[in-house]
Structure 1
Amino acid sequence: MRIKNISVFTSFGTFLVLLIIVSFHVQTKAADGDDQNAGRWSRSDRVYIVYMGSAAVSSTSSDDLSSLKDDHAQLLSSVRTRKPNAVVYTYKHGFSGFAARLSNEEARSIAEKPGVVSVFPDPLLKLHTTHSWDFLKYQTALKIDSNLNSKTTDRVSSVTTTDGSDTIIGILDTGIWPESESFNDKDTGPVPSRWKGTCMKSHDFNSSNCNRKLIGARFYNTSESDGTTEIDSPRDTLGHGSHVAGTAAGTAIPGASYYGVAAGTAIGGSPGSRIAMYKVCSDGGCRGSDILAAFDDAIADGVDVLSLSLGSASWSAPELSNDPIAIGAFHAVEQGIAVVCSAGNGGPYPETVVNVAPWILTVGATTIDRDFESDVLLGGGKVIKGRGINFSKLEKLPVYPLVYALSAGTHDANELSARNCEVNSMEAEKIKGKIVLCDTGGDSSRNGQIDTVKSLGGVGVIFQVEHPGVAAGTYVALPATIISVKDGQEILSYINSTSQRTCIRHKEHSQGKPAGFSFPIPNFPRKENTNISNVVCLQPDIAAPGVNILAPWKGNDTSVALEGQDPPRFNILSGTSMACPHVSGIAATVKSQNPTWSPSAIRSAIITTASQTNNLGIPFTTEKNSTATPYDYGAGEVTTTGPLQPGLVYETETVDYLNYLCYYGYDLSKIKTISRTVPKEFTCPKDSNADYISNINYPSIAISNFNGKESKNVTRKVTNVAGDGETVFSATVDAPSGLTVKVIPEKLQFSKNNQKLSYQVVFSPTTSSPKEDMFGSVTWTNGKYRVRSPFVIDI
């Protein structure tokens, strides 16, 4: 297996911001290189990341090579000698390496140097784009110990700003809007003395923008080398970072809403935690070199939890050794920092989960018990349910003419363009004063289509799509709604009838309904050794609310403002971007209550206490109303109180991750370069291959290539954190037909706190040819605590 590979590629990404689909094209043109840079790098150079594994002793000076490993220092010095100013970043706190402008030939040469793990082009990643805490409050079957601090048992009614005050959540995103009231530091204590970060200055941001709540703000910029938008301030220019930060750790703000929609108290999952923002994304995307620089700084700054609502596109997920998030997260976890990442928005299609390294807590998205309907009312009282957020001034009765966009097409318009309501495709006289039925597709965004209809005098838009989904778009230019193609056919028939009047009416529902918005399907490892293609870990790990989430917004966004009104203080977004900070906030709360717990213990507490039913006690369904499986939601939906008292935890130790790297295909010398914590006596297991990954001490179990002919054994180890000293946990198994599952031993007798005991699970087929993947769980309970581990059997 060749680890030091060079893979030059072009990536085109599309990500969700403001529920508007915006395309970002990664420019792979060379740096222009002005006269001042002539002779330093050529027009064919581009930024490469040179990853050299674990760091030596940390250094605070960017020019100090004395603390770097010899290989790193020598290579870095050589590059600087040949090409002054070519080095963009030096990574030295949590891991070793640098980013530099190199030619392809130079990159290939460096890849062969001693101490180099991988060299790869700087990738462009993308963002994965309240009341949700009220909803989650009831998502637990665990009886909470009455002696537990009451401030942590009710995330809404009794939470105070002292919750989690010693924890620091680092957020890698688009920056922050410091003036938002969600980031005020009223009643917040002094900044933890261990904090080593900074509040960077810029033309629109200075140290006074930070406070005891927002304790750090950094920005990164390598973009001048490739023409993408420059990042020159920690200030949030997109709104996404402020939304994420407020969801994770925003101060409680009563009376929050988006112009009266989704009204209530806006609050973060850990409202007392401190926020450190690392701005790595602009409207051009998120550079891998910037992401690694932010990881490196965050490790040195002293964060407790890192939250990343971003990642690669599912169709271009990089190899482990070329993945800046996996690399940065590995070294953060080595330093005791929990890393929480969004799973991506590629579902419901197979193999779409990203950020799947086992040291990352990967989060999918679910709905909450709130929905925003924008229904179409036809003549005769017929109502077709649609989805959207509108502030319509239209009459609430069907009095407006209705027209299909194709019927309004110009004489020379392309049929597809007309159906999609694209610019210059429709005649104004056929649109004016009417509600227009549009298809979606082509190159237009929905807001662009709405603007086109508005410019022609239209009064509303109905979009018909194959799968309307569950996220509600926000439309301020005109009333709009999204319906299914099936319902669209009914509207088309209605248009062709004698009566053609309609209206669009907005409704907000806050009532119990099955949660069903969750993206991931089976996860397969992506690696150079392509003969291995099996499930290695159940992903996502967990799910959390990610649909129609209200949270803080940048304060100058007129694009989402109602006509004649000030920009909103809060906005509503959907995506795994919104789910991720829910879990980050809970992780910070768990850390505050258990400061000595490792990232894997925190992850285990969250996974094993998840709920598999909605707030009505109904099993989860997908958006198509089929029964959901762990491929959709992982272990289930996160709960707010369960992780504070998990009973038992699965601690994934350093040796587990090292063995994972062995199973993944790395040789021992590479592993010792990657990790600073490799024991001297460590060796890779004999016959290392991906089949053994099931045995890493993970809270869930995934069995690959189960052929129905032989049994499969896995081993797990749990730590007693029940606080009860002597206690006995008994195992119960939920197994599907066609599978026998035996736990050995069936009881675990602990004599003291923090004691570790192991057990085996034996999976035996009862049929010789199982036809589909199987799901179940192993649950340990002592009458007070319930510790559930889901399993997936991949056929």
Structure 2
Amino acid sequence: MATSCIKFLLLGALLLVSLWIVNAQDEQVYIVYMGSSQNDRERDSVLSNHVELLASILGSEEDAQSSLVYSYSHAFTGFSAVMSKAAAAALSEKPGIVSVFPDPLLELHTTHSWDFLDTQSGISAPAYSPSGDTIIGMLDTGIWPESPSFSDGGIGPVPSRWKGVCMGGQGFTCNRKIIGARYYKGVGSGSGSSARDSHGHGTHTASTAGGSLVNDVNYYGLAKGNARGGSTTSRIAVYRVCSEQGCLGSDILAGLDDAIHDGVDVISVSLGAASVFQFDFASDPIAIGAFHAAQRGVLVVCSAGNDGPDAYSVVNSAPWIFTVAATTMDRDFQSDIILGNGKIYKGEAINFSNLSRSDMYPLVFAGDIAANTSSSEDASNCYPGSLDPQKVKGKIVICSNGDSISKRMKKAAVQSSEGKGMIVVDEVGRSVASNFGSFPSSAVSDQVGAEILSYMKSTSNPLATILRTVTITNYKPAPSVAFFSSRGPGSLTENILKPDISAPGVNILAAWIPNNQSTDIPAGGKPSYYSFESGTSMACPHVSGTVAFLKSANPSWSISTIKSALMTTATAVNNVGGPITNDSNMNASFFDFGAGEISPLRALTPGLVYETTGEDYLLFLCYLGYKQSQIDTIAGVGTNGSSWSCPSDAVGSEKVSNVNYPSIAIGSLEAKASASVTRTLTNVAGGAHADSVYQLSVQSPPGLDVKVSPNKLVFSQTSPTITFHVVFTATEAANKGYSYGTITWEDGTHTVRTPFAVNVS
């Protein structure tokens, strides 16, 4: 199951070719977004207003009630309903409507990872008393409540502030760990009326974020250790908004609205649009819900997407979303390939081969054994039906990876023809250990593939065997950026650096649904309650769990304090002391991994933080050209006598760089020109560090002059907040394109690192 979530994304991309769900009468579900809700309004009153508004377009209250899918009223207001395109257009002209858009179908995007992160921090865990009252909301495919990772042993009573329900469906029981469950009615909830997970994705992410400690976990002998979530004392609330078919925007909005109302502290969302189908912020269900969550002090953490390594592929890129990229860790799954000449190559895979060193079989290249009706190119990629069964039988087959055919399909093509094993040459994808079950298989680099093919040409009787996978720990270098992890800059604005941060997302072992139909189970094995998965979906709950961990240790911290603490203390070096690299073994950039890989222990004591306020987010919308009336409705400006207006000269995407964010991005800087940005830092150290002096250091690339003033920050109990200014100047020596650097403040105890990316045009 190691790459099933990546395959799931491919399925989602195919579904998104016809992006909307449409019925035979050319009607479909539309989402009507009406901005911030007024807390003093009763839900029945809001529902009545929505029906009345819809009836004014559809002609009668009866038609309106029958077409209504959801009425949203907790954190934001609006509804989703079945209607024609003409009706949607007419509705969009009504006063108080921010946007009307078709209901999108979005896609889903451990035993060792937490230990690796702690080791990378280089410090011991400080003394602290975690609260058991933090609540993690999981918007996903549901959960398998019987998993040992969701045991509530030793956990106290449900927090009294919890306002949610256990609407899990038949046979679903909540406890003091899983304190709430809901499921939704769109196509996104798929099979059955239940919050129970039928896919596995939601169970995996929930246990990664907040799973209880479980000793002696392994996957059929691999990756032995203790499984735990990032915040083992936190509670979990489940909102099933997805199934194998995807996740409807109307369900996602309902789940976000409920989660905010129920009282969660952080919401984990391992899903999003494909990078080719990104939405405007006012038409993106996740961005809409996350904005209103931020208004109410709830941080939404999202996966960056699995469309890497292409630039501009990052999704969930609104500044009020915490966007997470995926990295590797220092554990590898090695399956050795032994050739007839005695040479051994280390491949990457999860297989439970029963072959021994002496079990040598003939070795053939798939392109040389094409079926009569197939081309050698199709055969070389082991396309189903492309191989000659007589020439495959009893042999180990070498397959290329130059096509979009998954390794699982290649395996089926070889195994169905009674091949003895398979070697896949895959320079990029080999870093994710595919699960081949009991079928002897391994993935190798282009260089190793070439050496194996050279051996074949050197002898008339090439032979090979493939051994069972073993776990390799302390693998170096690690971390590196996963090949599939979506990259920045953001396509909607380049003046916010996205993704924000990275976390382990490759070969993560976490809770799973026991599935008797799985073809990955070794011969004689029983279904496992744990499985390996890879994707930014797996990286996201590492950050969600860490947010809950930090909130439990520092209950008074705001969501921007937590976000800043994680970004300014993140690490950009690997376990051999070098810079983090990408899948091509080149130095990665901040658009690959954000500010760095999370360091939960370091984030406990950040020293200084960037407080990104609600006004920053409103200014962001002003800078991008949203109308004042739209912003008023979105933010609820004007209710209860409040007022707020965009500055008179607000429009200009370049001004987004001045949002008080923990990183800096300048999307366009002309040669020999300068750009100025402002940032404000707040001292949260307290105690003996309330009076402290921070010294400046700047790391800048050649050709980019960076001036910071002042160059020293003096904090005191009466002056806990200080603003500094940065001027970037592109000199004649500046290279065109993006260049990167850091601005770092240090007081001898705390290090506050701010990454920047500047595009010289």
Distance 1:720 1:116 in 2: 41
Distance 1:443 1:503 in 2: 26
Distance 1:68 1:139 in 2: 51
Distance apart, 1:556 and its partner CA: 2.6
Partner of 1:284: 245
2:20 and 2:103 in contact (8 A); partners too:
no
Of 743, 752, 760, the match for 2:708: 743
Of 735, 740, 760, the match for 2:725: 760
The yes-or-no answer on 1:180 pairing with 2:147 is yes
Structure 2 unaligned runs (5+)?
none
Partner of 1:132: 113
Go from structure 1 to structure 2 and tell me whether the alpha carbon gap of 1:453 and 1:141 turns closer, same or farther (over 3 Å shift). Answer: closer
The 5 Å alignment of 1:129-278 reads 130-141=111-122, 148-149=127-128, 163-203=130-170, 205-206=171-172, 209-223=173-187, 229-230=190-191, 232-278=193-239
Distance apart, 1:406 and its partner CA: 3.0
Paired AA for residue 324 in structure 2: V
Indicate the larger mover: 108-117 or 770-779.
Answer: 770-779
Distance apart, 1:596 and its partner CA: 2.3
Of 5, 30, 36, the match for 1:17: 5
Distance 2:675 2:662 in 1: 17
1:454 and 1:477 in contact (8 A); partners too:
no
Indicate the larger mover: 79-88 or 90-99.
Answer: 79-88
1:712 and 1:762 in contact (8 A); partners too:
yes
Q: Can you list the C-alpha shifts for 1:322-375, whole angstroms capped at 9, x where unaligned?
A: 111111100111110011111111111111111110001111111111111223
Distance 1:76 1:172 in 2: 28
Give 3-state SS (helix, strand or coil) of 1:381's partner. Answer: coil
2:37 and 2:77 in contact (8 A); partners too:
yes
Go from structure 1 to structure 2 and tell me whether the alpha carbon gap of 1:253 and 1:115 turns closer, same or farther (over 3 Å shift). Answer: same
TM-score, normalized by length of structure 2?
Answer: 0.93
Partner of 2:367: 406
Partner of 2:489: 523
Distance 2:751 2:359 in 1: 54
Partner of 1:504: 466
Give 3-state SS (helix, strand or coil) of 1:704's partner. Answer: strand
Distance apart, 1:602 and its partner CA: 0.9
Distance 2:684 2:758 in 1: 29
Partner of 1:701: 664
Of 68, 78, 86, the match for 1:87: 68
Distance apart, 1:50 and its partner CA: 0.9
The yes-or-no answer on 1:778 pairing with 2:734 is no
Go from structure 1 to structure 2 and tell me whether the alpha carbon gap of 1:726 and 1:769 turns closer, same or farther (over 3 Å shift). Answer: closer
Go from structure 1 to structure 2 and tell me whether the alpha carbon gap of 1:763 and 1:260 turns closer, same or farther (over 3 Å shift). Answer: same
Distance apart, 1:403 and its partner CA: 1.9
Distance 2:647 2:326 in 1: 36
Indicate the larger mover: 102-111 or 73-82.
Answer: 73-82
Indicate the larger mover: 449-458 or 695-704.
Answer: 449-458
Distance apart, 1:741 and its partner CA: 1.7
Seq. identity, %: 46
Give 3-state SS (helix, strand or coil) of 2:341's partner. Answer: helix
Give 3-state SS (helix, strand or coil) of 1:403's partner. Answer: strand
Give 3-state SS (helix, strand or coil) of 1:705's partner. Answer: strand
Give 3-state SS (helix, strand or coil) of 1:658's partner. Answer: helix
Go from structure 1 to structure 2 and tell me whether the alpha carbon gap of 1:375 and 1:436 turns closer, same or farther (over 3 Å shift). Answer: same
Partner of 1:531: none
Aligned length: 741
Indicate the larger mover: 589-598 or 73-82.
Answer: 73-82
Partner of 2:509: 550
Give 3-state SS (helix, strand or coil) of 2:120's partner. Answer: coil
Partner of 1:103: 84
Q: Can you list the C-alpha shifts for 1:464-520, whole angstroms capped at 9, x where unaligned?
A: 235234111111151211223443333334334313110112332101412212434
Give 3-state SS (helix, strand or coil) of 1:371's partner. Answer: strand
2:702 and 2:734 in contact (8 A); partners too:
no
Distance 1:168 1:557 in 2: 32
Partner of 1:631: 591
Give 3-state SS (helix, strand or coil) of 1:790's partner. Answer: strand
Give 3-state SS (helix, strand or coil) of 1:394's partner. Answer: coil
Go from structure 1 to structure 2 and tell me whether the alpha carbon gap of 1:630 and 1:423 turns closer, same or farther (over 3 Å shift). Answer: closer
Give 3-state SS (helix, strand or coil) of 2:539's partner. Answer: helix
Of 1, 5, 26, the match for 2:15: 26
Paired AA for residue 165 in structure 1: G
Partner of 2:564: 604
Paired AA for residue 603 in structure 2: P
Distance 1:32 1:471 in 2: 37
Distance 2:251 2:632 in 1: 25
1:168 and 1:273 in contact (8 A); partners too:
yes
Partner of 1:321: 282
The 5 Å alignment of 1:341-740 reads 341-397=302-358, 399-440=360-401, 444-496=405-457, 497-505=459-467, 506-514=469-477, 515-518=479-482, 519-526=485-492, 535-559=494-518, 560-676=520-636, 679-723=642-686, 724-740=689-705
Q: Can you list the C-alpha shifts for 1:689-713, whole angstroms capped at 9, x where unaligned?
A: 1010010000111112111322211
Go from structure 1 to structure 2 and tell me whether the alpha carbon gap of 1:665 and 1:398 turns closer, same or farther (over 3 Å shift). Answer: farther
Indicate the larger mover: 621-630 or 249-258.
Answer: 621-630
Distance apart, 1:131 and its partner CA: 0.3
The 5 Å alignment of 1:51-70 reads 51-57=33-39, 61=43, 64=44, 66-67=45-46
Partner of 1:156: none
TM-score, normalized by length of structure 1?
Answer: 0.89
The yes-or-no answer on 1:301 pairing with 2:262 is yes
Distance 1:352 1:165 in 2: 37
Distance 1:537 1:780 in 2: 21
Distance apart, 1:441 and its partner CA: 5.8
Distance 1:612 1:229 in 2: 40
The yes-or-no answer on 1:43 pairing with 2:31 is no
Partner of 2:53: 75
Give 3-state SS (helix, strand or coil) of 2:429's partner. Answer: coil
Give 3-state SS (helix, strand or coil) of 1:773's partner. Answer: strand
1:256 and 1:265 in contact (8 A); partners too:
yes
Paired AA for residue 739 in structure 2: M
Q: Can you list the C-alpha shifts for 1:70-112, whole angstroms capped at 9, x where unaligned?
A: 6x56414545443442111111111111111111111111111
Distance apart, 1:166 and its partner CA: 1.0
Indicate the larger mover: 135-144 or 598-607.
Answer: 135-144
Paired AA for residue 298 in structure 1: A
Paired AA for residue 87 in structure 2: E
Partner of 1:118: 99
Q: Can you list the C-alpha shifts for 1:575-623, whole angstroms capped at 9, x where unaligned?
A: 1111111111110111112222221111001000111112332221112
1:421 and 1:449 in contact (8 A); partners too:
yes
Indicate the larger mover: 373-382 or 166-175.
Answer: 373-382
Paired AA for residue 53 in structure 2: L
Give 3-state SS (helix, strand or coil) of 1:347's partner. Answer: coil
Give 3-state SS (helix, strand or coil) of 2:86's partner. Answer: helix
Go from structure 1 to structure 2 and tell me whether the alpha carbon gap of 1:623 and 1:111 turns closer, same or farther (over 3 Å shift). Answer: same
Distance 1:74 1:728 in 2: 60
Distance 1:671 1:188 in 2: 43
Distance 2:112 2:41 in 1: 44
Superposition RMSD on alpha carbons, in Å? Answer: 2.4
1:76 and 1:98 in contact (8 A); partners too:
no
Distance apart, 1:420 and its partner CA: 3.1
Go from structure 1 to structure 2 and tell me whether the alpha carbon gap of 1:512 and 1:461 turns closer, same or farther (over 3 Å shift). Answer: closer
